[in-house]
Structure 1
Amino acid sequence: MSASNGTICSSTNRPTPLDRAAQAFGQICSRINAPTVDGRRIGHGVPRRRVNVRELVEILPLLEADGRDAVWRELVRLSREHGEPWPTIAIGIALPGLRTAAARLTRGYAGDSGDLDAELVTAFYEALRSADIGRHNVCGGLRAVAYNQVRRMRYGTVSYSARTVDLDALPESIAPVTRCGHPDMVLAKAVRAAVIDRREAELIGATRLEDLPLTTVAKKLGMAVTTAWCRRRSAETRLASWIKENDNES
């Protein structure tokens, strides 16, 4: 059954992560002072004035391919430079394609399809932060990056418990960060140096090194997926700075 904002809920009326993204996008669009983009900056057929996101959704399908790419490059720029609500807006505009990708990912999947949906949303957010947008079909490229990341996670075969590193069991004497030869050792040393905590090390190790779904790891650690995503992002920023500093000192 379709909701008034276009969200399609399951027969159990339990909203999926994609449903929640649609709801969040609908709330943004319904504001009297809905966010706007600068049509003069975008060009390529977009009206040369401030265009709110409700109107942008209507304009986008009418543009030529170059115009759609110009809009998406601006959405990515706003997401990277200003943060929310622009990532949520980008997700909302990309939802039709993301729903198609989610349907492909969940076909024949025996687990909770909501986990894959959540991973797809998270992976798209991450693609907004770091993916190359210099090529044609920017939205399709972002979606492909997210889809391929979740696809690799889906077909992982080793259980989380088998992959978890016991940080206490690692030796106290560890080589310099850039010389240790194993990422788990880097994480362990970072924990001992109080750069990141144990839970952040587990988040990074399990999701980045072992390609486990963020939803699975977040559940084990007792975190909401969005909390886990934010903590991992913050921890990775600190970790990268620490590694760089140690590299300069070595």
Structure 2
Amino acid sequence: MVLPLHDRILDSIEAYFGLSPQMLTLSVEVSQPELDQRVIRLSLKAARERVADPAVPAGIKDAIWSALVRLASEAKDPWDTAVIWMMVPGLRRICRRCRRYGSPLDSSELESEAVAGFVEVLHVADPNRPALGSWLWWTTYRHVQEASARARAETPTADIELLGSLRAYGYDDSTSSQTVVRLVRDDVPVVDESAAAGSALEGERLGALAHRLGLDRALHLPGGSTERAA
């Protein structure tokens, strides 16, 4: 099965899970602290529903996350992808929160940072940590916050350097409403990049992130290349 890569990485993960027979059959064994550690088996879909349900006791949610973190660490494929799918609703909340607090990153960039941050957090997560689910969310949130802070600090410097370079080439920024994003020699006309080129670059960035996380294999993307949904 070849799955097109969506513009947003969280949509790609959701689509892959929904269309992959292997993912649909996954289940996890979870102990229930309030029932003397009795073990139950939940489908991954049921497990995600319980994690999102505010009425479910925190102990059960942490038991689910503990089992998933352990499986992702020990069994790897397909659990390394499955645990990201489990956190997708939480990652979306992180992105919305960061946008609400003025992150300079766009939605696609925030999602990429959220997935990359969550993967890093998983590598150091202790399955036996108390309040594991909350720790996973807040540690990932701080990662995205830090990425937003770096982008905010870098943007003014980049803008100043760009403007200085443009003026050195005799460019009058007061006569143009569009940002010139590519500099060329003074004997060659300066041309604005098209919206299509920007879209292609975004696709390449998402493909590179998928390759970095190992998702290009899961999504059948050779070398991190992208296939757009029609």
Q: TM-score, normalised by structure 1?
A: 0.52
Aligned partner (choices 143, 148, 151) of residue 149 of structure 1: 143
* 3-state SS of paired residue (1:51): strand
Instruction: Give 1:58 deviation, angstroms.
Output: 4.0
> Residues 156-196 of structure 1: CA distance to partner in whole angstroms, max 9, x if unpaired?
1247x99xxxxxxxxxxxxxxxxxxxxxxxxxxxxxxxxxx
Name the amino acid aligned to 1:141. Answer: W
> Residues 13-53 of structure 1: CA distance to partner in whole angstroms, max 9, x if unpaired?
x641221222223235x5596112224xx343587454321
Instruction: Give 1:133 deviation, angstroms.
Output: 4.6
Name the amino acid aligned to 2:212. Answer: A
> Residues 82-114 of structure 1: CA distance to partner in whole angstroms, max 9, x if unpaired?
112223222222222221110122233444321
- The aligned residue for residue 63 of structure 2 is 70
Aligned partner (choices 22, 25, 43) of residue 17 of structure 2: 25
Asked if 1:34 is matched to 2:9, the reply is: no
- Measure the CA separation in 1 of the matches of 2:40 and 2:146: 42
Structure-2 change in CA distance of 1:111 and 1:124 (3 Å): closer
Asked if 1:224 is matched to 2:217, the reply is: no
- Measure the CA separation in 2 of the matches of 1:74 and 1:123: 20
Q: Is contact 1:24–1:88 with CA below 8 Å preserved after alignment?
A: no
- The aligned residue for residue 194 of structure 2 is none
Structure-2 change in CA distance of 1:69 and 1:106 (3 Å): same
Name the amino acid aligned to 1:70. Answer: A
Q: Is contact 1:79–1:86 with CA below 8 Å preserved after alignment?
A: yes
* 3-state SS of paired residue (2:130): coil
Structure-2 change in CA distance of 1:33 and 1:148 (3 Å): closer
Q: TM-score, normalised by structure 2?
A: 0.56
- Measure the CA separation in 1 of the matches of 2:61 and 2:104: 37
* 3-state SS of paired residue (1:155): helix
* 3-state SS of paired residue (2:28): strand
Structure-2 change in CA distance of 1:144 and 1:33 (3 Å): closer
Aligned partner (choices 101, 108, 115) of residue 114 of structure 1: 108
- Measure the CA separation in 1 of the matches of 2:25 and 2:209: 27
- Measure the CA separation in 1 of the matches of 2:39 and 2:125: 28
Does 1 or 2 have the higher relative contact order (CA < 8 Å, sep 6+)? 2
Instruction: Give 1:223 deviation, angstroms.
Output: 6.5
Equivalent residue runs for 1:22-101 within 5 Å: 22-28=14-20, 31=22, 34-39=25-30, 42-44=31-33, 48-60=39-51, 61=53, 63-101=56-94
Q: Is contact 2:117–2:140 with CA below 8 Å preserved after alignment?
A: yes
Instruction: Give 1:117 deviation, angstroms.
Output: 0.7
Q: Percent same amino acid among aligned pairs? A: 27
Q: Is contact 2:69–2:125 with CA below 8 Å preserved after alignment?
A: no
Name the amino acid aligned to 2:110. Answer: L
- Measure the CA separation in 2 of the matches of 1:67 and 1:82: 22
Structure-2 change in CA distance of 1:225 and 1:70 (3 Å): same
- The aligned residue for residue 238 of structure 1 is none
Q: Is contact 2:104–2:148 with CA below 8 Å preserved after alignment?
A: no
Name the amino acid aligned to 1:117. Answer: E
- The aligned residue for residue 98 of structure 2 is 105
Name the amino acid aligned to 2:106. Answer: D
Aligned length: 158
- Measure the CA separation in 1 of the matches of 2:48 and 2:147: 31
- Measure the CA separation in 1 of the matches of 2:207 and 2:41: 39
* 3-state SS of paired residue (2:97): helix
